[in-house]
Each structure stands twice: as C-alpha cells, then as structure tokens.
C-alpha cells in the first residue's frame, strides 16, 4: 500500500493510505470521471478524498492522462475550432499549435486561449522536417493531428499550384518522417478532404466510401490525394501509426470569409450580389465544424492506425439552396443571387458515407443544418470586426468578400 502525508488542520502531519481502488465510492467516482460526466471536484465529493489526493491517484492509475497534442495548422478554420474543443474537453491536455500563418491562418481565432498555460503557439512550416522533429522531441509530443494545407480550390486554379504541392505533399512527408523516427508519438491523424474522390453525377444515389478510388479533378485535390497516399504507404512500409480522414464541407465560426456561407452572408449584408458558379446546382454535403471536431476527437483516441475514416453529415444541398438559406435568415431578397461562369474542374456533387465511423466509433452529428446555420449567422453578425481585419489583411482577394 502506498502512503502519503496529509496535514491535520493543526498542521501536525499524519500518515494516511491512498484511495482504495476497490472502494465502491472510489470506483463510482473513477468511472464517472473517466467517462467525462464529472470533474475532479465532483469526483472528490463522491469519493470522500481531497482533490489533490484523487488527482494523483487518477494519474498513477492511468485515468488522468496528461497528453501533449501537436496541432499542425491550428490557426485555420477547422484547426482552431479543434484546439478550442480539446482544451475545453480535456483539462489535463496541452496543445502546441504549429502554423505557418498563410492567408487562412489567423491567431485571432485563438485569442481567448493564448494566455492559457496549456496552449503554446509556434510559427513554422510543416515541410521543415528538422524544426518539426526538434519540436516533437523537446515538447514530448504524444499525438499529432495535421490540418495544415493549402485548401482553396480557386487559388490553386488562379495561382500557381507550387505551394499546394509543397504543403499538401512534401509537408505530409515531413510529418511522416518525424513520426517514423520518434516512436513516442502514439498516433498521427492526417485530415484530408472528400474532394480527392472526384465527382458524382447529380442524379446518382452513390456516396463516397473509404474504398472509393481517388479521381481528383483540380490541383488542390490532387495534392491532397498525394499526401493521403503517402500516409498509406508509410503505414504499410513502416507501420507508422497514421490515420487519414476525409470530410465533407465544413461551416461555422472562424471560417475564412472567402468560403461560400460567410461570403454569401457578408455580401448580402452589404446588398451586394451573391455570385454562384455555373447554375448553382453543385451539390455538397454540409457539416457543422463542431461535429467534425467531435469526430476527429474520437478518431484521435479510438481510431485504428492504418485506417481511413470518412466524416459526413448526410446533408446534401446545392449552392443555390445554401445562398437562399442565408438570405432567408438575413431577411434579404433572393434577387441578390447572381450566376456567373463556372470555374474549371468544378465537381458536380460530393456525397460521403459516414457509416464506418458511426458503426465502429459510435459517432454521429449533434447539430442540425438549421441549427448550425443559425449559430453561424449569429457568430458572424457578432464578429464583424474579425472579417474586416481579414479583408484588410488579404486585399488580393478581398474584392470577393
């Protein structure tokens, strides 16, 4: 039996045993805490032990994991939402945010956690293998999740695709090499996109599964597919503990205003035309970013290395429907919708099947599309200055915002 010193109120120390792990109250507190139903203070009340004593007991018994998570690309839209999620849900986790701060990276997304002792920001490029390796070793990283990517399709078409290849292929290769040489990294989750699968016909009933062959149609998607295939090869060749995820279109707080939903919102607020490519019939599956973060959380902790997980909400809507929905919430007329020439390689329809993650990990969405849109519109209306700052910083594309 282990012994610890516990002071009396008078200051006279006595020897008391650590909690009996088989005591019914300790067992109950341990189970509830481990399942995330109570915090350490509530567990202390149930077990009759002091919070400090119980915390040490939980840590020694493995109930209280202290993990260090490296989030690559954590200043972007989904990455910053994921950091908020992890810091809120796991009070004993620490997060290191590693981001190059390109056009989509914005530290304002994380202003309310920047002073947390469990959060650290380091500016850097995932293609810089030497720096990444030093960081992983010095920070004693347990988990890596990679959001870092050049993601905007139009930019990959209008500008050179060099940076897309550097980040989405060479950057992923860099991370894989670091994980290969540092076995203390327990899991590496690489976040990809459903666009690697190509396009489906509008009248098709098919959906992308984890076994669907890659058929990317634009440079961005091709670069992402290259990174995904590297992950597969490194797991098969070196048994790297890597998992790849493919998700549908995300929306929610902190999304760059060049994307469809926030773009439509802010143009409508200024009574400017909402421009849609082609005839507005391009269909996407829409998922609220909070639900995506919950899925990634499950994959990080319970996913199987070497596997691929598709994440979708089964909410298929075309761009015309999305624009009309935004206008309805704002009370704006539909004549603001303006159709323009389609862009090259614009896939007609994405539909992704989430059956595997639902069956194997028990995940499902919790936010309906109607609720998610309402939350999103409300957030942007309350954060106009956040968008204005992006418009000022990114003047090259601000005319589209």
Q: For 86-101, how does the pLDDT look when each residue is reduced to its tens digit (9 = 90+)?
A: 999 998 899 999 999 9
* SS3 state of residue 211: coil
Give the percent of the chain with pLDDT over 90: 69
The arithmetic mean of pLDDT across residues 280-309, rounded, is 97
Please provide the average confidence, as pLDDT, over all residues in the chain: 89
Residue 8 pLDDT grade (very low, low, confident, very high; cuts 50, 70, 90): very low
Do residues 44 and 153 share a domain?
Answer: no
The arithmetic mean of pLDDT across residues 201-205, rounded, is 93
CB atoms within 10 A of CB 266: 20
Give the per-residue pLDDT at 129.
Answer: 97
Q: Is residue 10 part of a domain?
A: no
Torsion of CA 225, 164, 195, 81, to 10 degrees: 110
Give the percent of the chain with pLDDT over 70: 91
Do residues 55 and 72 share a domain?
Answer: no
Give the per-residue pLDDT at 151.
Answer: 56
Do residues 208 and 311 share a domain?
Answer: yes
Q: Is residue 259 part of a domain?
A: yes
Q: Among the options 49, 125, 194, 347, which is catalytic? A: 194
- The 10s digit of each residue's pLDDT in 263-290 is 999 999 999 999 999 999 999 999 999 9
Do residues 109 and 56 share a domain?
Answer: no
Q: Facing residues of 212 across strands?
A: none
Which of 66-80, 107-121, 165-179, 335-349 bottoms out in mean pLDDT, i.e. has the lowest? 335-349
Whole-prediction pTM: 0.85
Of all helices (H) and strands (E), which one includes residue 309?
Answer: strand 308-311
Active-site residue 162, yes or no? no
Residue 13 scores a pLDDT above 50: no
Q: Is residue 8 part of a domain?
A: no
The DSSP output letter for 254 is T
Tokens of 259: 């994307």
Which of 55-64, 163-172, 176-185, 342-351 bottoms out in mean pLDDT, i.e. has the lowest? 55-64
Q: Is residue 121 part of a domain?
A: yes
Total domain count, the chain:
2
Q: Among the options 49, 150, 195, 347, which is catalytic? A: 195
Q: Is residue 11 part of a domain?
A: no
Residue 200 scores a pLDDT above 60: yes
Do residues 131 and 248 share a domain?
Answer: yes
Q: Among the options 119, 220, 251, 380, which is catalytic? A: 220
Active-site residue 220, yes or no? yes
Q: Is residue 341 part of a domain?
A: yes
The arithmetic mean of pLDDT across residues 386-400, rounded, is 70
Active-site residue 194, yes or no? yes
Q: Is residue 7 part of a domain?
A: no
Range of the domain at 124: 68-398
Tokens of 109: 């997304």
Among candidate residues 27, 60, 93, the one where a domain is terminated: 60
Do residues 335 and 200 share a domain?
Answer: yes
Q: Is residue 393 part of a domain?
A: yes
């Amino acid at each position: 039996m282990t012994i610890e010193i516990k002071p009396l109120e008078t200051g006279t120390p006595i020897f008391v045993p650590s909690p009996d792990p088989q005591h019914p109250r300790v067992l109950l507190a341990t189970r509830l805490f481990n399942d995330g139903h109570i915090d350490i203070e509530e567990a202390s009340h149930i077990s009759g032990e002091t919070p400090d004593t119980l915390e040490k007991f939980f840590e020694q018994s493995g109930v209280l994991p202290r993990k260090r998570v490296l989030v690559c690309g954590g200043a972007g839209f989904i990455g910053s939402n994921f950091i908020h999620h992890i810091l809120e849900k796991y009070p004993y986790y620490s997060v290191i945010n590693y981001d190059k701060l390109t056009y989509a990276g914005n530290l304002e997304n994380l202003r309310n956690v920047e002073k947390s002792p469990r959060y650290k920001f380091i500016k850097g490029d995932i293609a810089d293998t030497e720096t990444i390796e030093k960081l992983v070793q010095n920070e004693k990283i347990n988990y890596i999740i990679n959001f870092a990517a050049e993601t905007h399709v139009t930019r990959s078409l209008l500008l050179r695709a060099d940076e897309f290849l550097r980040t989405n292929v060479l950057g992923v290769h860099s991370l894989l090499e670091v994980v290969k040489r540092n076995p203390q990294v327990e899991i590496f989750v690489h976040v990809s996109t459903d666009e690697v699968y190509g396009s489906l016909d509008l009248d098709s009933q098919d959906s992308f599964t984890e076994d669907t062959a890659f058929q990317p149609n634009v440079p961005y998607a091709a670069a992402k597919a290259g990174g995904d295939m590297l992950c597969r090869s490194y797991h098969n060749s070196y048994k790297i503990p890597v998992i790849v995820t493919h998700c549908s279109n995300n929306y929610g707080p902190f999304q760059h205003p060049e994307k469809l939903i926030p773009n439509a919102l802010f143009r409508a607020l200024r009574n400017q035309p909402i421009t849609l490519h082609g005839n507005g019939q391009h269909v996407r599956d829409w998922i609220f970013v909070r639900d995506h973060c919950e899925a990634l959380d499950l994959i990080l902790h319970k996913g199987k290395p070497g596997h691929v997980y598709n994440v979708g909400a089964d909410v298929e809507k075309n761009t015309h429907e999305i624009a009309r929905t935004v206008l309805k919430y704002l009370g704006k007329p539909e004549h603001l919708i303006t159709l323009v020439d389609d862009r090259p390689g614009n896939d007609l329809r994405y539909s992704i099947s989430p059956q595997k993650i639902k069956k194997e990990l028990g995940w499902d969405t919790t936010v309906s599309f109607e609720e998610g849109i309402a939350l999103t519109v409300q957030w942007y209306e309350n954060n106009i200055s956040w968008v204005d700052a992006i418009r000022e910083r990114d003047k090259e594309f601000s005319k589209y915002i």
